[in-house]
Amino acid sequence: MDLDAIQGIFFQECDEGLAGMEANFALLRAGDREPETINGVFRCVHSIKGGAGAFGHERLQAYTHHYETLLDNVRNGTLTLTPDLLDLVMGAFDLLADHVAAARDGTDVPADAGMLELLAAASGGAGHASAPLVDIADATDAPVAAQVQAPTDDFDDLMAFLDDVAPASDDIDNSAADNWRLDYRPTANALDNGGEPVLLLRELSRMGARVIDCDRSTLPGLDALDPEIAYFSWTLSLPASVAEDDIRAVFEFTDACAITLSRGEAGEPAVAPSPPTIAARDPSAAPTAISEAASPPPAAAVPVIARPPAAAAATQTIRVDLDKLDRLVNLVGELVITQAMLAQRLSENDLAGIAELTDLEHLTRELQESTMAIRAQPMKTVFSRVPRIIRELEGETGKRVRLDLEGEMTEVDKTVVERIGEPLTHLIRNAVDHGLETTEERIAAGKPAEGVVRLSAAHHSGRIVITVADDGKGIDRQRVKAKAIERGIIHPDATLCDEEIDNLIFAPGFSTAATISNISGRGVGMDVVRKNIQALGGRICIQSRQGVGSSFSLSLPLTLAVLDGMIVTIGDQTLVVPLSHIVESLRPTEHTLSSFGPQGRLLDVRGAYVPVLAIADHLGIEGAERDPSRAVLIVVDGDQGQMALLVDSIQDQRQVVVKSLEANYQAIDGVAGATILGDGRVALIVDVDALTASGRLGARGLAEAA
Amino acid sequence: MALRRAIEAGEPITIDGSLVDRAGLACLQVLEAARQTASAAGLSFTIEAPSAALSDIATIAGLGELAAG
């Protein structure tokens, strides 16, 4: 494992930490003032700080340091968490996320001077105004210089003490007996793993640690020295005010060491005292000094108690490379196909009834489900980004928004989780920007000043339904229609039902925002959202009531790897129609069919007329049945409305493993993918949305020609 | 290697530390080993004008006397 890989893990843990903090903020915002909640936030920031120090991200470390100072004041009760302070803490959190991203991507460090001043001002409210402010001025004006110089100054002092120990012993701190004594012994291979011990020592020294002894006894002579082996080990003394988990956190990112931590070894009286000058001048010692002043025992005791559950949870999971997982999923897919082929071959030889085959079928299905479950992720990973989006929107629009989240733990396949983020962000921006009224308008309409955006996820008959709802003004249908006519999207005489008008906002190039804001309204939005959702095999629908609000529901398949389908025959071809689209299938009688134009036919489904489309015509399949009265019609619900697909016969209904046609061959209009059947033949999966769209177009063309 | 030869040749050791930007444990170990080896051979060992970075690192590691200038 090299340094980059370890750093990669650090950033992954940063992301998880940030997501965890977001969850805690939601609690805090809801009025939760449990000490554990703010402690959770503090610990996350602290871990990031520790890692940032170990990997040399100095700006990130400097920033987290000041952030941590403020949080520490909140957690030990020096500061009360007022709503204003909470806003600042969350604003600082957003900047922290930017800092982490900058450190990860190696991009420019975000401008943090303003936020640091705010943080310092807030921390300063606790009565420690001057010291932190000076640090910040240094850190922001000339961060590098400050980093190098500050410790040097301290160590000049330290050197003075070391050269002449006598004056220091005059100054014995009362708590000296409680000082931490830390034995730190890097393993011989510590240098291989990127766990540069000197960086850890530097981190410790910022906490006020002093080296009592550097054990050099194992160091061989220059002749025998192996530069890649770590020989030294250290005994350090840390001020008693430093919390145990702060010390342990320094070693969090390396396991190439043995540490023993003990308190109050009286065996080192001459060197153990912690000279107050160092504690005061070392920037990192400042927060601990503050916490000591406020409430010494809890500062050390609380985190120690809180630690074990987090550590226990961490051992329950392992990290797996995604490629490995994808390969596993793929292999299981192949196994399912092979199993189907085997079953078919056996049934050809009258061996279908054997018990082992049934067992194998059960096992493969269970295996498949378990593999899919590994890939499943809670929607939380997507939802945790939303509060920040809302906060930014609040800032940009001046509206006040409350976010309600529901069903965060709903699990869905990783591919869906990855690709839902962007459309969802767009819908949320849309809800805040277009959906919610301004605060004044809301008050005038007799609504609470704070708008509500509700985001929920739930499983619904084998699909996941994600809803973005707002309690805003709803869709102004008259304006939508006027706009659509103005843009030439619909004919001025067209009569449309409410639903059809609502769906106009998905038309390409449509935007109703009176003024184009930089949030939304450039007309590149909703059609792209719908396209993205369709690419995931999903559908989007709108419910809106004027003055009450609107809600956008996304219905998505749980996984893109398997699909429940109806196996149909058309001519000499076998095709699969996705079950999720099928409304009903029927064999038409003479009087349920009416002719329409030279080619067109309509099917009367209990009073509603549905156009009939022969798949064979569209995909160029020969020898297929064209007479609807001798074929089977499958009524499907596509994106552009219903349509009756004409097929020769229905074979079976089963789960198929989807193979991408695009990756293996090329994209074909009207075909969503392919699968391999039990007999080894390839069957195409019908793209119902594309077929209904083109079918409608064809029908319209005919209507205009007639 | 140059260090070792110098010690074997019995020359007093003076190392220019003024341009050091960054030093890790490996570097400190080499220097410390050289110092010990040199003093065992009865030779003087000095790091001349150590940079702030070098003396800083040495102090943190409890090897202040190595780069005391």
Q: Tell me which of A34-38, A163-167, A562-566 is least confident.
A: A163-167
Contact B33 A222 (CB under 8 A): yes
Instruction: Choose from A222, A232, A282, A284 for mutation: most chain B CBs within 10 A.
Output: A222
What is the count of structural domains for chain A?
5
Q: Tell me which of A29-33, A384-388, A578-582 is least confident.
A: A29-33
Q: Is B51 on the interface with A (CB under 8 A)?
A: no
Q: Do A546 and A571 lie in a common domain?
A: no
Highest mean pLDDT pick, A121-125, A355-359, A695-699: A355-359
What is d(CA B29, CA B25) in angstroms, rounded to the nearest whole number?
A: 6
Q: Which of A529, A557, A585 is the C-terminal boundary of a domain?
A: A557
Contact B29 A230 (CB under 8 A): yes
The pLDDT, as a whole number, for residue A194 is: 63
Residue A375 Cα to chain centre, angstroms: 14
Q: Is A111 on the interface with B (CB under 8 A)?
A: no
Assigned domain for A330 exists:
yes
The pLDDT, as a whole number, for residue A289 is: 39
Contact A225 B3 (CB under 8 A): no
**Looking at the partner chain, which of A190, A198, A223 has a beta carbon nearest the beta carbon of B61?**
A198
Q: Do A391 and A531 lie in a common domain?
A: yes
**Looking at the partner chain, which of A151, A219, A222 has a beta carbon nearest the beta carbon of B3?**
A222
Q: Which of A505, A529, A557 is the C-terminal boundary of a domain?
A: A557
Assigned domain for A524 exists:
yes
Q: Tell me which of A59-63, A260-264, A568-572 is least confident.
A: A260-264
Assigned domain for A143 exists:
no
pTM score over 0.90: no
Contact B61 A214 (CB under 8 A): yes
Cβ-Cβ contacts under 8 Å, A202 against chain B: 57, 60
Contact A572, A564 (CB under 8 A): no
Contact A198 B23 (CB under 8 A): yes
Q: Do A446 and A529 lie in a common domain?
A: yes
Beta carbons within 10 angstroms of residue A650's beta carbon: 14
Q: Is A197 on the interface with B (CB under 8 A)?
A: yes
Assigned domain for A313 exists:
no
> Residue A460 belongs to a domain with what CATH number?
3.30.565.10
Q: Are strands A608-614 and A573-578 parallel, antiparallel or unpaired?
A: unpaired
Q: Do A423 and A552 lie in a common domain?
A: yes
DSSP code per residue over A2-60? -HHHHHHHHHHHHHHHHHHHHHHHHHHHTT---HHHHHHHHHHHHHHHHHHHHTT-HHH
What is d(CA B51, CA B20) in angstroms, rounded to the nearest whole number?
A: 6
A residues 495..514 contacting B (CB < 8 A): none
Q: How many CA atoms lie within 13 A of A669 on its CB side?
A: 8
A509 token code pair: 């190039």
Cβ-Cβ contacts under 8 Å, B40 against chain A: 221
Cβ-Cβ contacts under 8 Å, B4 against chain A: 222-223
Q: Which of A334, A352, A377 is the C-terminal boundary of a domain?
A: A377
Residues of chain B with pLDDT below 50 are 69
- In angstroms, the separation between the Cα of residue A201 and the nearest Cα of chain B is 6
Q: Are strands A210-215 and A233-238 parallel, antiparallel or unpaired?
A: antiparallel
Task: Give chain A's mean pLDDT.
Answer: 75
Digit-coded pLDDT (tens) for A441-457: 888 888 888 889 999 99
Digit-coded pLDDT (tens) for A394-441: 888 888 888 898 888 888 888 788 888 888 888 888 888 888 888 888
Secondary structure tally for chain A: helices H, strands E: 25, 22
Assigned domain for A213 exists:
yes
**Looking at the partner chain, which of A148, A158, A190 has a beta carbon nearest the beta carbon of B59?**
A158
- A300-321 burial, b for 16+ CB within 10 Å, e for fewer? bebbeebeeeeeeeeeeeeeee
Assigned domain for A254 exists:
yes
Q: Do A432 and A476 lie in a common domain?
A: yes
Digit-coded pLDDT (tens) for A350-368: 877 788 888 988 898 888 8
Q: Do A70 and A175 lie in a common domain?
A: no
Q: Do A61 and A169 lie in a common domain?
A: no
The pLDDT, as a whole number, for residue A697 is: 53
Residue A270 has pLDDT above 50, yes or no: no
Query: Residue B37: closest CA among chain A residues belongs to which residue?
Result: A221
- Model ipTM value: 0.82
Q: Please give the average per-residue pLDDT across A526-532, as a whole number.
A: 80
Q: Do A183 and A41 lie in a common domain?
A: no
The pLDDT, as a whole number, for residue A83 is: 79
Instruction: Choose from A154, A158, A198 for mutation: most chain B CBs within 10 A.
Output: A198
Q: Do A580 and A680 lie in a common domain?
A: yes
User: Which of the four pLDDT bands, split at 50, 70 and 90, describes residue A378?
Assistant: confident
Beta carbons within 10 angstroms of residue A267's beta carbon: 7
Assigned domain for A307 exists:
no
Q: Is B53 on the interface with A (CB under 8 A)?
A: yes
Q: Residue A466 is part of which domain span? A: 379-557
Assigned domain for A203 exists:
yes
Cβ-Cβ contacts under 8 Å, A151 against chain B: 56, 60
Angle formed by the axes of helices A285-294 and A130-141, nearest 10°: 160
Contact B24 A191 (CB under 8 A): yes
Contact B59 A148 (CB under 8 A): no
Q: Is B6 on the interface with A (CB under 8 A)?
A: no
Q: Is B18 on the interface with A (CB under 8 A)?
A: no
Q: Do A182 and A240 lie in a common domain?
A: yes
Q: Is A218 on the interface with B (CB under 8 A)?
A: no
Q: Do A85 and A114 lie in a common domain?
A: yes
Q: Do A269 and A338 lie in a common domain?
A: no
> Residue A106 belongs to a domain with what CATH number?
1.20.120.160
Residue A266 has pLDDT above 70, yes or no: no
Digit-coded pLDDT (tens) for A307-356: 444 444 445 777 788 788 878 888 888 888 888 888 888 888 887 778 88
